[in-house]
A and B are shown apart, each in its own frame.
Chain A
Amino acid sequence: MVENRPFLAVLTHLVLIVGVLVIAFPVYVAVIAMTHSKETLSLSAPLLPGGELFTNIALVWNYDPPGMPPFWRMVWNSTWMALIIMAGKISISIISAYAIVYFRFPFRTLAFWLIFITLMLPVEVRIIPTYEVVANLGLLNSYAGLTVPLIASATATFLFRQFFMTIPDEMMEAARVDGAGPVKFFFDILLPLSRTNIAALSIILFIYGWVQYLWPLLVTTREEHFTLMVGVRSMIGLVDVDPQWNMIMAAAVLALLPPVLIVIFMQRLFVKGLVETEK
């Protein structure tokens, strides 16, 4: 920082600590819940840890009732699905944003709005026709059916557009003077500059794919393609039985681990940015 103001530093940390407490509190409740027995949880939501942590983790890890794949298999499916969606969304969005900002071509505005409007169409609202399309293409029960319909991304395209607009025109002019074509400019200049945005988006998009529930439930009817969220939801089984909160919470917390790894991994790109600005 530019100057040293102890009061401001204390205030900053205070804001952050309160922020973390508020944001992470529901997760804290879940973590605590996974250390208790199901009997305790049916009566209250405790705030202090209990002694059932390992029992519950073992329960979830060995959770393999008929009709559900083993837990690790669902983690695997979810991870793949989230990674494909993340990579797919980022690649097709960054190139379409590049086209929209750095080229002038007929129907450019139309293309932008067509992509943009998908922001306003959550899958639940158009579920029956979307399912029909996927079924007609023969994509039910496949990784393609799980991921491709979710890969179009208005958000990512829009974000890259916003970011590209802030890059000074002089950069491109200089590149052109040096004889760089559009492909070279994209890979040598634009992509490295977009690093922090890609990192932020990767986290968000991985999580987007990770928490998908309804779509995977509909397009997969074979247990080998079931994802973790389908598994967790089946444990909640709200029909006439009391949910086993200890197991659900343990599963929910274990389900947080892959996203946490992604957050930590992608964050290195962030921190690099922070440190570089200190130069």
Chain B
Amino acid sequence: MDTKRTVFPSKGLPYLLVAPQLAITLIFFIWPASQAVKSSFERQDPFGLSTQFVGLTHYLRLFQDPLYLTSIGRTALFAVAVTAISMGVALLLAVAVSRVIRTANAYTTMLVWPYAVAPVVAGMLFWFLFNSATGHLAYLLRYFGVVWNANLNGDHAMILVILAASWKQISYNFLFFLAGMQSVPQSLTEAAAIDGAGPLKRFWTIVFPLLSPTTFFLFIVNVNYVMFDTFGIIAATTNGGPNQATNVLVYKVYSDGFIGLNLGSSSAQSVVLMAFVILLTIVQFRYVERRVQY
């Protein structure tokens, strides 16, 4: 990992600077996480009254379960779709807002504050819109000849959770793209304009490359969001159904552990998921970050 060409020569100061963050991380994240890793090798009743070491049993069982293996592919589809939609739409909106100086303020507000809708309320709103009994969008689709039934049609259910998960993340991405664009020097785009470059060309040759640190940041954050933070939305809309069509890995961790109280297997699943995402992140840092222009 790179630092600056030149750095400050200080022995104590950097430790002091990372100390608060590291202390909280170790106490409230790393330690509990190591407990979760430990329990993935154990079989324990929920109250922790009896514990037996079972080695790799939970892991072996997972990888012999055809349902678990299919849910890996489903998770990949879900992750790619949500990341692409939420980042693509957000970038488009951020570019548009940065072009309209006078009304930028109003648009930004309107685009950002839906993010503050609490997840539990957001799930409810999506149910309101899409349920087969009274939902507007279900009604609208019926008008166009589509019999919308996310309760039984797996494709409909997948579309529903992808839309809901993307919707939740667009405001977030938008805000950071917009912040990133603030730091693109106006002089550069002006110079390019004088050279006769059109808006689209200016965006691709100047603005977008300069946004690459932001894009990389958002890419990592979004992948993590989809992989770990979407079970609430799925719980509020489809419960992983119909017949597992929307049962992505993190939802299974949540439903087996949090609802089913099967702590050992759920821990093993979260370890697998974490290992997978850590691997993915390292690959991203090694290969994608090289293309990032700092």
Contacts and interface: CB of A to CB of B under 8 A. Distances in A.
A and B touch in the complex (CB under 8 A): yes
Interface of A: 1-3, 5, 8-9, 12-13, 15-16, 19-20, 22-27, 29-30, 33, 43-45, 47, 92-93, 95-96, 98-105, 108-109, 111-112, 114-122, 124-130, 132-134, 148-149, 151-153, 155, 157-159, 162-163, 165-166, 169, 172-173, 176, 181-182, 185, 196-197, 199-200, 203-204, 207, 210-211, 213, 229, 232-233, 236, 248, 252, 255-256, 259-260, 263-264, 267, 270-271, 273-275, 277-279
B116 A19 contact: no
B113 interface: yes
A105 B14 contact: yes
B110 A200 contact: no
Contacts of B155: none
Contacts, number: 306
Nearest to B128: A45
B77 interface: no
Helix, strand, loop or mixed for chain A's interface?
A: helix
Contact of A29 (B129, B178, B213): B129
Given A15-B92, A109-B1, A128-B263, A133 B25 contact: no
A19 B17 contact: no
Contacts of A125: 36, 228, 253-254, 257, 266, 270
Given A15-B92, A121-B274, A263-B112, A148 B118 contact: no
A120 to B, nearest CB: 5
A29 B121 CA distance: 12
A100 B2 CA distance: 9
A99 B18 contact: yes
B28 interface: yes
B278 interface: yes
A119 B253 CA distance: 17
Interface in B157-201: 167, 170-172, 175-176, 178-179, 182-183, 185-186, 189-190, 193, 199
10 contacts: A13-B96, A16-B103, A27-B113, A43-B134, A92-B20, A124-B231, A152-B21, A155-B221, A210-B118, A270-B179
Interface in B123-154: 124-126, 128-129, 134-136
A140 B11 CA distance: 37
A211 B114 CA distance: 12
B55 interface: no
A264 B33 contact: no
A196 B182 contact: yes
Contacts of A157: 21
Interface residues of B, number: 105
Interface string B93-131: 100111111011101111111111111111011101100
A152 B126 contact: no
A19 B96 contact: yes
A252 B128 CA distance: 14
A56 to B, nearest CB: 15
Contacts of B13: 99, 103, 182
Determine chain B's interface SS by DSSP, over half rule.
Answer: helix
A121 B29 contact: yes
A133 B134 CA distance: 45
Contact of A26 (B89, B122, B199): B122
Contacts of B220: 119, 158
Contacts of B27: 133
A154 to B, nearest CB: 8
Contacts of A172: 4, 6
A185 B107 CA distance: 35
Contact of B32 (A117, A130, A158): A130
B274 A176 contact: no
B3 A103 contact: yes
B179 A169 contact: no
Contacts of B15: 99, 105
A222 B188 CA distance: 57
A96 B101 contact: no
A277 B188 CA distance: 11
A173 B107 CA distance: 39
B114 A166 contact: no
A25 B258 CA distance: 32
A104 B107 contact: no
A19 B122 CA distance: 18
Given A45-B136, A162-B216, A172-B6, A2 B193 contact: yes
Contacts of B258: 124, 127
A13 B118 contact: no
B7 interface: yes
B204 interface: no
A99 B14 contact: yes
A92 B178 CA distance: 24
Given A126-B35, A270-B182, A23 B221 contact: no
A102 B120 contact: no
A152 B96 contact: no
A30 B121 contact: yes
Contacts of A210: 116, 118
Contact of B99 (A1, A152, A173, A252): A1
A22 B137 CA distance: 12
A29 B2 contact: no
Contacts of A165: 2, 213, 294
